[in-house]
Amino acid sequence: MSQPSFSSLDSALLVRDAQGRYLPATTDQMLEAARQAVDQKMKRGTVFKSPAAVKEYLTAKLAGFDVEVFAVLFLDSQHRLIEYVEMFQGTLNQASVYPREVAKAALHHHAAAVIVSHNHPSGSTEPSAADITLTTHLKKALALLDVRMLDHVIVAGQDTASLAERGLL
């Protein structure tokens, strides 16, 4: 079987298979490539200078998952990235999040601040009552350790909602 010519695939993103052939990338392969590109661009020490930069980063990391994924940006006192960690994975419409584990990870990373985030595969950025309750519990637990919770961002496709901007933090 011959390899397709590049011109016959128009502007498709291509990946190389095990036999060395170039084939059009699947949606999952494109999303994974985007996540890797974000990781290369936003390395440890990167300063998040605006809420828009945080939302762009989190959208690239969390959009496209078909289950809920809860992630934490661990930041130093200057709000520079220490580590991005996907801590919990759930089902289509919920993920169990344990404040104790988030607090433990914040201490492990020597974080001064965190931004938490999760995706809504349903496509709605509207925070649920459970999202708001979790945010309150996390903020209180982290405050006991002198770790500031700066925001909780919900990602739904390319849309985001900031609980801080909505006055829910």
pLDDT value, residue 42: 56
Read off the pLDDT of each residue in 26-54 and give the average, rounded to a whole number.
68
- Is 106 buried (19+), middle (13-18) or exposed (0-12) by CB count in 10 A? buried
pLDDT value, residue 4: 46
- DSSP 8-state code for residue 47: B
Question: Taking 50 as the threshold, does the pLDDT of residue 127 lie above it?
Answer: yes
Strand-pair partners of 85: 72
Give me the helices (H) in 42-168, please. 51-62, 99-108, 129-143
- For residue 105 the two structure tokens come to 């990870």
CA 106 to mean position of chain CA atoms:
16
Percent of the chain residues past pLDDT 70, beyond the cut: 81
Question: Taking 80 as the threshold, does the pLDDT of residue 122 lie above it?
Answer: yes
Q: How many CB atoms lie within 10 A of CB 7?
A: 6
Is 145 or 7 the better-scoring residue by pLDDT? 145
- pLDDT band of residue 11 (cuts 50, 70, 90) is low
- pLDDT band of residue 28 (cuts 50, 70, 90) is low
Q: Nearest 5 degrees, angle CA 32-CA 38-CA 42?
A: 150
Burial 17-40, CB ≥16 within 10 A → b, else e: eeeeeeeeeeeeeebeeebeebee
The residues of the chain that CATH labels 3.40.140.10 are 44-162
Q: How many CB atoms lie within 10 A of CB 141?
A: 17
Question: Taking 60 as the threshold, does the pLDDT of residue 45 lie above it?
Answer: yes
User: Identity (one letter) of the amino acid at 47?
Assistant: V
pLDDT value, residue 36: 61
Mean pLDDT over each residue of the chain, to the nearest integer: 85
The CATH number, out of the four listed (3.40.140.10, 3.10.129.10, 3.30.1370.60, 3.30.360.10), of the domain defined by the range 44-162: 3.40.140.10
Mention every residue, 6+ apart, whose C-beta is less than 8 A from residue 73. 48, 54, 57, 58, 81, 83, 84, 114, 115, 116, 117
Is 91 or 150 the better-scoring residue by pLDDT? 150
- pLDDT band of residue 1 (cuts 50, 70, 90) is very low
Query: φ and ψ at 118, to 5 degrees?
Result: -150, 160
